[in-house]
Amino acid sequence: MDRQIRDIIWLVAVLQLGLHPYCLDCWIAGRMTRRLYYHDSYVAAFEAEVVDHLDIGGQSAVVLDKTFFYPTSGGQPCDRGMINGVPVTEVSIREGDDAIIHVLAGEIHDHRVQAEIDWPRRFDHMQQHTGQHILSAACVRAAEAGTIGFHLGEESSTIDLDVESLSRPQIERVEDLANDVIFDNRRVTSSSLTPDQAASLGAGGRDGRPLRTPQNPGSTVRIVDIEGFDRCACGGTHVKRAGEIGMIKIVRLEHRGRGLRAEFRCGRRALTDYRVKNDLISNLAADLTVGYWEVGRAVDSLRDEFKSFRRQAREVGERLLEYEARDLLRGAERRDKLCIVSAVFSERDRRQLGRLAKKLIEQPGVVVLLGLADVKSHLLFARADDVRLDMRPALKSALSALGARGGGGRPAMAQGGGPAADEERIRAAIGHALKLLTNDG
């Protein structure tokens, strides 16, 4: 379209019809849906006409002539709500004509419909998305960290930064700067610019503030401006005043290759996060009978005590195993030069079974056949270094008697698991293996 004709249509539409410039661009491009959420993110109820009925994976869907429903795009989830009382489960952009598809939980047949957006969800997204703009700009200013990715989740949101780490003082400077913008209650505005106008912003613009993110190629570029602080090309929904965000808090940092992912919460999400953590630390303080400011030291003290008790318990456990090993050796069966220890246990840790076997085979001439009866049976066969027997065939024979295959290890120690079995079945399986080892029967 000739640029001069386009500019005339643009001016008439904006002045006479009250059409938002971005919506006009959609109309000129032949799109089926006017995207009115660009014009006003605060509209939660509206009327529209159905221009197309669709079937999306077995679900009914409609295209409206205009919509305030935001579709999934740009890292922001879609709006939910109702159309003529039928829940809207998904909103997306159709490739080809950029029509907005409203997927429904049921069918509607009316031509004229009443639509209602889930306002708490919409406002939450407005808080998080505007908060992300402020946080990303604060990261640049306070930590020289640029944002290379953004995701707005159901419970928390993240930005991916192009730095490997941030120190605690840097994080605090970023948070302070971001929240200062909120406390100043700065205006948040949006405008649609031509590529040339957007390019001039990228170079610094009239007031010297550059465009923080590169614009996508197209006939118009939507710019979100946070008064005196940030300009960003963005198609999401935003609040009108930064104060509506409430506050911004970074809650977690995660290394991602050579970058850093920062998880953050804004608005009511930040309040919920504080409430949960405050309840947690208050309950901990009450359980430990200390003030909340003393919880850290109390936990450190408990950790030290636990390490000491665990070390003592390990030492006592090892001594008990030594006594048990001696007792088993005293009751062992003697065959030729072999001392055969056979025992079946229940409700015992497999690792403890292995430590017991190692203590037993420290003595020369010892062959150990241990079994564990449980929901899953377990066998462990071992022998001392001076015994020339391969324990693996005996183990497989015993497991086969239990109805299991597998098991493995080394000639000196082999083990494997089988199905549930009681102590009697385990003893029978060990007896079967013992005959194989001693060539008896």
**What are 183-240's pLDDT values in tens digits?**
999 999 988 776 666 666 654 444 445 566 655 555 577 889 999 999 988 889 999 9
pLDDT computed for residue 84 by the predictor? 95
- Beta bridge partners of residue 53, listed in sequence order: 62
Say which amino acid occupies 152.
L
Which residue, of 256, 284, 312, is where some domain finishes?
Answer: 284
Q: What is the DSSP letter of 371?
A: E
Q: How many domains does the chain have?
A: 3
Clarify whether residues 113 and 235 are in a common domain: no
Which residue, of 224, 257, 284, is where some domain finishes?
Answer: 284
Clarify whether residues 248 and 351 are in a common domain: no
Clarify whether residues 257 and 350 are in a common domain: no
Clarify whether residues 111 and 130 are in a common domain: no
Question: pTM score, two decimals?
Answer: 0.71
- Beta bridge partners of residue 67, listed in sequence order: 35
Task: Estimate to the nearest angstrom the gap between the alpha carbon of 112 and the chain centroid.
Answer: 41
Which residue, of 117, 142, 161, is where some domain finishes?
Answer: 117
Range of the domain at 77: 31-117
Clarify whether residues 128 and 261 are in a common domain: yes
Clarify whether residues 130 and 239 are in a common domain: yes
Say whether pLDDT at 14 is over 90.
no
414 and 408 in contact (C-beta within 8 Å)? yes
- Beta bridge partners of residue 404, listed in sequence order: none
Say whether pLDDT at 97 is over 90.
no
**Mean predicted confidence (pLDDT) in 60-65:** 94
Beta-carbon neighbour count of residue 106 at 10 Å? 12
pLDDT computed for residue 257 by the predictor? 87
* d(C-alpha 38, C-alpha 221), whole Å: 12
Clarify whether residues 346 and 400 are in a common domain: yes
* d(C-alpha 384, C-alpha 365), whole Å: 6
Clarify whether residues 79 and 128 are in a common domain: no
Clarify whether residues 105 and 178 are in a common domain: no
pLDDT computed for residue 216 by the predictor? 55
* d(C-alpha 339, C-alpha 329), whole Å: 8
Clarify whether residues 182 and 280 are in a common domain: yes
Clarify whether residues 216 and 338 are in a common domain: no
* d(C-alpha 250, C-alpha 274), whole Å: 12
Clarify whether residues 64 and 93 are in a common domain: yes
